[in-house]
Structure 1
C-alpha cells in the first residue's frame, strides 16, 4: 500500500514543475507576437516551399550520383543527438530542494527524461519517414532499402530505438562527475549514433541492428563505469540557464528584451584576435565588443553553426545541396551576429569613462568582420568541389553573401539609436 504522505509530496513536486513550466511560457508568450509580425513565419514558409520543391524534384528526377547515404546519415544523426531536458531548476534550488533530491528525481527529472526519449524517437521517425522515398529511389541506396513492408517497419523501429537510447546515454553523460569524462562520453555517444545510423541505412538490417546494439552497449557500459552523481544538480541548472538564454537570444532578434548575463569562455584559440585591435580611445568600444563577442555565447553558437554547415557542404557532393547550405548558413549566421548589438556593458558603465557615441558603429564593425570571414570561408568550402562548373552562379552567391554580412547587417546595426542608455 502506498504511503499517503509520500504520494502527497510527489504530487507537490510534480505541481512545482508544472508551475515553473507555466511561468516560463507566460514569460515568453508576449514576445511571440513580435516574431509573427516580423515576417519570420513567411521566411520559414518560403524555406519550406523551397525544400518541398527540391524534394519533389529529386523524386521525379533522381541524379545517379546523389549522395542519399551521406544525406540520410546526416539527417538521422542530427535528429537523434538533440537531447534537450528542461528541468526548470534554478541556482537556489541546490539549497532548498537538495534535501528532497529523491522526490525531485522521481517526480520531475525522470518523467521529463521519458518525455524527451519519446519525442526524440518520434522526431527521428518523422525524419526517416520523410527521407524514406528518396532513400528507396536513390541509386546509391536502392539496394540497401527494404523490399517488404515488414522490413521498413523493422528499420523504422530500429531508428526510433536508437534515438531513444541516445536520450538515455545523454542522461548518463550528464551525471558524470568529471568534465573530461562528460566530453569523452559525448564523443563516444555521437560516434555510436553516427556509425549506427550509417550501418542501418547501408547494411543488411540484421547485421546493422547487431552492430548498433553492440555500440550502444559499449557506450552504456563505459558510462556505468564512470563516477557519477545520482542527481547532477549543477549540470541541469547550467543547461536550464542556457536554454533560457537561447530563447531570449532568439526573441531578441525581433524585439528588444532584457537578456540574462551569459557566462564567459576563455577560447584562447580565437580570443587573441581582439588583442590586435589598436589600443586607443578611438577603438575602445571596438575592443570591448570584439572581446565580448569572441568570449561570449553568441560566438559559440555562431562558430558551431558555421562548422555544421561546413561539414554538410563537405560531404554533400551536390551543387544544389551545397548552394542551399551556403545560403541558409549565411542568412542564419548573420542573424546570430546581430545579437552583438544588444550588449549593454552595464557592469562596466561606472568604471569605463567612454562616451556612448560610436558604440553601434563599433558593434557593426565587429559584425562586419565576423560575417565577411564566415562568408568567405564557407563559400570556399562549398565552392571548391564545384569549381569547374557554374562559376558565375557561385560568384553571384558570394557577392550576395558579402553584401548581406558586410553591408546590410552592419548598416542596420549602426543605424540604431546612438543615445541608448548604457
Structure 2
C-alpha cells in the first residue's frame, strides 16, 4: 500500500484549519459576539489590574505562576486528526505511519509552545510585581520552558503508546510525576538554578527513554487516538456553540454514576419516561452538562469583577438566557434512538419534560450563585434574599416561555 503519511497529515491539518477559520468567522460575525467579547476582555483587564494593585509584597506570585505553567506543561495533548474510520482503513499501512505521527508531534509541540508564550505574556505582570530582581528574564524563561514542553509532548506520546501494555492508573502516575517535575523545572528556570535544571532534564529524558525502551513497535493506540480527537473536537464545538448553531459532534458517553443515581432516585421512569431519559442524557452525554458549569464559573468571575447589585442581577439574567437558549438541544430527536418516536405519549409531554429540567437547572444556578454571593458578601443580607427570589421566579417564568416556544417533536 503506497501511502505518503506525512502529506496525509498536512492535508488533514489544512482542511481542519480552513474549517476552523470558517467557524471563527461565523462566531465573529454573530450579532452580540464582538460586544460580549469586548465586555469580558475589558472586565478581565480591570480585574487583573485591581488584583495587581491589591497584591501584597508577601503574596506568593512565583509559586502561583509556577503552578499555572506546570499545569500548562503537563497538559500536552497531541493533535493527530485521526478519523473514526482510520483504525480500519489505515491499519494495513500501520508500519508506514511514522511520518504522520512525527509531523503530529512537531505540530503539537509548536502549538503548545505558542500557548506557553501567550501564558507567559499574561503572567509577566504578576511575575514582575512579586518576583525579585535576580529572576530570569522573560526570554530565557520562555526558552527553558519550551525545552520542557517538547519533552512533555514526547513523554505524553509514549504514554499513549503504552496504553496497550500499562494500566490507566500507571499512566496517571506518570502524568502526576510529570507535573511535579514541571513545577520544579519552572521554579528552577525562574531562579536560574542550572545544576537543578540539569538534574531535572536528565530525569525527564530518562523517563522518556525508559518509556521508549518498553514501548512495543505495534500496534498503535488507534482507539485512544480516535477518542481523544473526538473529545477535542467536541470541546471546540461546545465553545463555538455558545455563539452560533453548529452541527453536533459525536460525544462519548460518560458514566457519572453519582449524578445518574440521583436522577434515578428523584425521577420515576414509569410515570414520566421522557423526563427520566432526558436527565440521563443530560448527565451522561449532553453538551449542556459542561455548558451549565461553564456558565456558573463565568457568572461567578463576572460578579467578582463587578460586585454592583444591578450588575449582579444583570449577569444572572444573561447566564439564564444563555442556559435556556441551549435547552432545546436536549430534546433533539436525532440524539436518541428512533424508538423514541414510537412512544405513545402526547406532544405536550416533550415540552413539559424540558420545562421541568429548565426549572430545576435554573433554580440550582440561582441557589449556587446565592451561596457564593453570601459567602463573599457582594450583597447585603436583604439583597441576597432578593437575588434568590429573583432567580427562582425568573427560572419559572423562563421555563414557561421555553415550554411554549419549543416546536413539537416530529
TM-score (norm 2): 0.75
1:366 aligns with 2:357: yes
Q: 1:216 to 1:331 in 2, by over 3 A?
A: farther
Q: 1:415 to 1:170 in 2, by over 3 A?
A: farther
Q: 1:22 to 1:156 in 2, by over 3 A?
A: closer
Deviations 1:371-414 (A, max 9, x none): 54466457657865x5xx65539949975994699468756754
TM superposition shift of 1:200:
2.8
Q: What is the rounded CA distance, in whole Å, between the counterparts of 1:68 and 1:15 in structure 2? A: 45
Give the 5 Å matches for 1:155-304. 155-178=141-164, 181-193=167-179, 196-197=182-183, 200-201=186-187, 204-206=191-193, 209-210=197-198, 212-213=200-201, 216-217=204-205, 219-220=207-208, 223-224=211-212, 229=218, 231-279=220-268, 283-296=272-285, 298=287, 301=290
Structure 1 stretch displaced more, 407-416 or 169-178: 407-416
Q: 1:200 to 1:14 in 2, by over 3 A?
A: closer
1:17 aligns to what? 9
Q: What is the rounded CA distance, in whole Å, between the counterparts of 1:321 and 1:162 in structure 2? A: 34
1:126 aligns with 2:139: no
What do you get for the CA RMSD once the two structures are aligned? 4.5
Q: Give the gaps of 5 or more residues in structure 1.
A: 1-5
1:341 aligns with 2:328: yes
Q: 1:399 to 1:77 in 2, by over 3 A?
A: farther
Q: Secondary structure at the residue paired with 1:37?
A: coil
Q: Secondary structure at the residue paired with 2:167?
A: helix
Whether the 8 Å CA contact 1:175–1:232 is kept in 2: the answer is yes
Deviations 1:241-289 (A, max 9, x none): 2233334444443444442443322222221122124426663321111
1:56 aligns to what? 49
Whether the 8 Å CA contact 1:87–1:240 is kept in 2: the answer is yes
Q: Give the gaps of 5 or more residues in structure 2.
A: none
Whether the 8 Å CA contact 2:47–2:305 is kept in 1: the answer is no
Q: What is the rounded CA distance, in whole Å, between the counterparts of 2:280 and 2:175 in structure 1? A: 33
TM superposition shift of 1:117:
0.8
Q: What is the rounded CA distance, in whole Å, between the counterparts of 1:123 and 1:395 in structure 2? A: 39
Structure 1 stretch displaced more, 20-29 or 289-298: 20-29
1:44 aligns to what? 37
Q: 1:126 to 1:244 in 2, by over 3 A?
A: closer
Q: What is the rounded CA distance, in whole Å, between the counterparts of 2:176 and 2:167 in structure 1? A: 14
1:146 aligns with 2:134: yes
Deviations 1:49-81 (A, max 9, x none): 122223333455543454524542343244334
TM superposition shift of 1:363:
2.9
Q: What is the rounded CA distance, in whole Å, between the counterparts of 2:239 and 2:73 in structure 1? A: 23
Whether the 8 Å CA contact 1:170–1:186 is kept in 2: the answer is no
Q: 1:54 to 1:256 in 2, by over 3 A?
A: closer
Q: What is the rounded CA distance, in whole Å, between the counterparts of 2:405 and 2:388 in structure 1? A: 25
TM superposition shift of 1:109:
2.1
- Which residue among 358, 380, 405 is the counterpart of 1:392? 380
TM-score (norm 1): 0.73
Q: 1:403 to 1:40 in 2, by over 3 A?
A: farther
2:348 aligns to what? 357
TM superposition shift of 1:99:
1.8
2:97 aligns to what? 104
Q: Secondary structure at the residue paired with 1:176?
A: helix
Q: 1:269 to 1:192 in 2, by over 3 A?
A: same
TM superposition shift of 1:120:
0.8
Q: What is the rounded CA distance, in whole Å, between the counterparts of 1:242 and 1:293 in structure 2? A: 17
Whether the 8 Å CA contact 2:158–2:215 is kept in 1: the answer is no
2:73 aligns to what? 80
Q: Secondary structure at the residue paired with 1:91?
A: coil
TM superposition shift of 1:189:
2.0
Whether the 8 Å CA contact 1:368–1:405 is kept in 2: the answer is no
Q: Secondary structure at the residue paired with 1:264?
A: coil
1:3 aligns to what? none
Q: What is the rounded CA distance, in whole Å, between the counterparts of 1:215 and 1:391 in structure 2? A: 51
